[in-house]
Amino acid sequence: MKKAILTILSKISNVFLLAFCGALLIFAGCKRQESGTAGERAAEPEVTVRLLTDSSGIDDKSFNAAAWRGILEFYGDTWENTSLRGAAYDVVTAQTQDQYIPNIQQATDEQYDLIITTGFTFADALTVVAEKNPNQKYMIVDVDWVNLPNVLNAIYSEHEGSYLVGAAAALKAQEDRIANPRFGFIGGIAGATITKFEVGYIQGILSILPDAQIVDYYVGGWDDTAAAKSQAKNWYDSGVYAIYSAAGNSGNGTIAQAKEYRIQGRNVWAVGVDSDQFEEGLYTATDSAVLTSMLKLVENSTLYALNTVKNDTFRGEVISFDLKADGVGYSTRNPALSRDIVTRLEDIKTRITGGEIAIASTYGAAKQLPGFPQNLNARDD
């Protein structure tokens, strides 16, 4: 009897022991799994990057937004799902230009693999920091004169894409039978880069309407929508048919005014820039005040730079993105841009890429062309 009881107790003990060991194994397995997950979360990404922008930020729906799209694409994220933000990539917006050097230096101190600055206004600040940190990789968009071995310069042929949208606006005025149409250009900060937008646009207009009148205005910044909207209102009220803005977030003021007037039934247009701004111009479910947009695919340059870091081929160089390389173009999303107009524009595009049409990229060169305005606010520097 005693032996039977001992046998039973031994079996019960073994059962509890097995259960206890099983529990330990499950617990250990869970811990390994948790540890593995945490390890995956903590693993450093292959490439890290920080984007530094001016005050208009990545919500400008234009230039900075395009740069940000390239970063998102590289990591497989989207605007709605930025799962790797903070771990692999991030963005810092400078409210004033005196924050440029501190922002670049902070990103350098935090040892990002690549630091990207957007716009020529960063050039001086970047030069100061990059010279002191030769082992840090930097990229700047819209500059070709930061000649340092650790800085990649990306430039675009804005004058080619702008020629196309200028021609589009003029062809639309012809199609609408506008008598003596006038056209406007609103720039952000005057300088060689924005001059390419303006002179290309004007050459495109004049190629269709040689006697067209042109007016221009510079806001003096990238984030003053009120100033652009006020100028657009004055021009539309004086008979300007279409306004092209190359002014960052400021240009959204032009679009806002065009929307208001088209709602009222007035035949005026805004021309978008950098990104396709069709949706920004919507004033009904399908109608947009943005006739077309000059597409400057800044995302191509940010993708290029990130891939050179990933592939260990990064070097200080100047990369040019032109119409032939699909660096610039124009949007056909608005149905108001008729099939006949698009056909004409595609023919013009072929003639540009084939070398038949040469487009001046500086004000000095453009002023030598017959009928080109001589009193613009554009500046070569």
Q: State the pLDDT at residue 34.
A: 33
> CA nearest 215: which of 235, 195, 197, 194?
235
Q: State the pLDDT at residue 10.
A: 44
Q: State the pLDDT at residue 158.
A: 97
Q: State the pLDDT at residue 273.
A: 97
Q: State the pLDDT at residue 45.
A: 83
Q: Give the C-alpha distances (Å, rounded to integers) separating 6 from 3, 16, 20, 364.
A: 5, 15, 21, 106
Which amino acid, residue 159? Answer: H
Per-residue pLDDT of the chain (381 residues; tens, 9 = 90+): 433 433 443 443 444 333 433 443 333 333 323 333 333 334 568 999 999 999 989 998 889 999 999 999 999 999 999 999 999 999 999 999 999 999 999 999 999 999 999 999 999 999 999 999 999 999 999 999 999 999 999 999 999 999 999 999 999 999 999 999 999 999 999 999 999 999 999 999 999 999 999 999 999 999 999 999 999 999 999 999 999 999 999 999 999 999 999 999 999 999 999 999 999 999 999 999 999 999 999 999 999 999 999 999 999 999 999 999 999 999 999 999 999 999 999 999 999 999 999 999 999 999 999 999 999 999 998
User: Please, what are the domains in the chain?
Assistant: 49-156 (3.40.50.2300), 158-295+338-366 (3.40.50.2300)
Q: State the pLDDT at residue 344.
A: 98
Question: What does the alpha-carbon distance between residue 117 and residue 323 come to, in Å, rounded to a whole number?
Answer: 23
Does residue 44 sit in helix, strand or coil? coil
Q: State the pLDDT at residue 61.
A: 86
The dihedrals phi and psi of 284, each to the nearest 5 degrees, come to: -135, -175
Q: State the pLDDT at residue 161.
A: 98
Q: Which two tokens stand for residue 238?
A: 């004086």
